[in-house]
Structure 1
Amino acid sequence: MADVGVRPARRADAAAVADIQIRAWRQGYRELLPEAVLAEVTGDDARKAWRERWAEAAAAPPSPRHRLLVAVASDLVVGFAAHAPAEDDPDRDPAVTAELVTLLVDPLHARAGHGSRLLAATVDLLREDGFETLITWAFERDEVLRAFLGSAGWAPDGTARDLDMGEPVRQIRLHTDIRAAAPA
C-alpha cells in the first residue's frame, strides 16, 4: 500500500485542493445542482478563486481553530477537509460546536480510506480544541455523503435550509457527538 496520511495543508497545496474540489463537484454534484450553477462554480474563473481561497485558508486562517487538512498518498494530495467553529449557526454555541465546512476526496482516489482518515484527523483536532459536537450541511439528495457520515455516527438534526440557485436546493444539517468516550 502507498504511504498515506493526513497533514495540515500548506499554501503550496492550494492548486491541488482546488483541482480536487472541481473534479469532486463535477462528478458528485452533477445530479444535485442546476447545470448552470455547477458550470459557474467549477469553471476556470472559479478555479482561480478557489485556489486563492484555499491558499489563504492554509497560510492565514482566521483563527487557530480554523483548519485545512489534506490527505496524501505517496506525497500526492488526494483529498482535503476544512473545519471551523460553527459561527454561522445561531442555534449552536461556536465554543463547543464546530462545522465540517467540507470534506472531499479526488474521484480518482475514492474508496481508499482517505475520507475516513480526514474525518478521524478532523475529530481528533477538534477534541483537542475542546469541541463537543460537529455539524455539517449536506445536500438533501447527496446520498453518498449522507451514507458516509451516517456510517460514522452522524444523523440529521432536523434543521434544513433552501439555497437559491435559480431553483431551491435543499440542504439538511447533520451532527455528531465527538466527545471522547469515558474510559471503561
Structure 2
Amino acid sequence: MIRAATPDDLDAIAALHLEARSTYYRGHLADDDFAGPEELARSRDGWSRAVERGDVLCAERDGELGGVAAYRRGDGAVTLTQLHVRPDHWRSGLGTALHAACLDVWRAEGIATARLLVFEKNERARAFYASRGWIQDPDTPRSGTHLVLRLTVVPVAE
C-alpha cells in the first residue's frame, strides 16, 4: 500500500533512510557521513520538513514501512530527493510501486521533467532508474560524487 507520510512515520522513515544509505555508502564514505546518532537526528529533521510539505510517500507491506520516497517541486520541475526501500524488501516491487506513485502525483500536477542525484557507486540504484527511463542529464551530468539523472514525465494517454 502506498500512502502519504504523516508525522507519526518520522522515526521509522529516519531509521529506514539510515539503513538504506548504509548499504551503498559503506566502504565509500566515512561511517560518520551517513550513520550515527547525529546523522539520524539530521535525517529525521529533513524528513520532518518534507512530511510537513506533503512531499513524502510511504510504502507499507504487512503493516510495516518498507519504503519511502520524497520529492520537491520548483521551477516547473520536480526533484526526487529520496527513494529508499528496506534492504530486506529489495526486489519485492516496493521501489517500483513508489516510483509509479511519484509519477502519478507529478502527472496530476502537470510536471514534465524530474531530476534526481544518484551516488555514482550505487549501481543497484543506477540500474533501477535506467530501467525506468532516467538518463544522465546532458546539461548537468554530475554533482560531486553523484550523477544527475533526468526523466521526461510522459502524461498518461486518456
> TM-score, normalization: structure 2?
0.91
Counterparts of 1:30 and 1:115, CA distance in 2: 21
Counterparts of 2:156 and 2:93, CA distance in 1: 23
Give the corresponding residue for 2:107: 127
Counterparts of 2:71 and 2:100, CA distance in 1: 12
Give the corresponding residue for 2:68: 80
Does residue 71 of structure 2 align to residue 57 of structure 1?
Answer: no
Counterparts of 1:68 and 1:151, CA distance in 2: 23
Of residues 33, 37, 56, the one that matches 1:40 is 33
Preserved CA contact (<8 Å) 1:8 1:68: yes
Does residue 6 of structure 2 align to residue 10 of structure 1?
Answer: yes
Does residue 151 of structure 2 align to residue 171 of structure 1?
Answer: no
- Tell me the number of residue pairs that the alignment of Structure 1 and Structure 2 aligns: 157
Counterparts of 2:154 and 2:69, CA distance in 1: 20
Counterparts of 2:91 and 2:156, CA distance in 1: 28
Does residue 136 of structure 2 align to residue 161 of structure 1?
Answer: no
Task: For residue 121 of structure 2, give the secondary structure of its aligned residue in structure 1.
Answer: coil
Preserved CA contact (<8 Å) 1:11 1:56: no
CA deviation after TM superposition for structure 1 residue 153, in Å: 1.1
Counterparts of 2:94 and 2:137, CA distance in 1: 26
The 5 A counterparts of 1:107-122 are 107-122=87-102
Preserved CA contact (<8 Å) 2:4 2:56: yes
Preserved CA contact (<8 Å) 1:6 1:121: yes
Task: For residue 71 of structure 2, give the secondary structure of its aligned residue in structure 1.
Answer: strand
The 5 A counterparts of 1:10-29 are 10-29=6-25
Percent identical:
29
Counterpart amino acid of residue 52 in structure 1: D
CA deviation after TM superposition for structure 1 residue 181, in Å: 4.5
Residues 117-165 of structure 1: CA deviation (Å, up to 9, x unaligned):
00000000011111011111112222111100111111112323343xx
> TM-score, normalization: structure 1?
0.79
Task: For residue 84 of structure 2, give the secondary structure of its aligned residue in structure 1.
Answer: strand
Instruction: Single out whichever of 49-58 and 140-149 deviates more from structure 2.
Output: 49-58
Preserved CA contact (<8 Å) 2:24 2:121: no
Counterparts of 1:52 and 1:175, CA distance in 2: 27
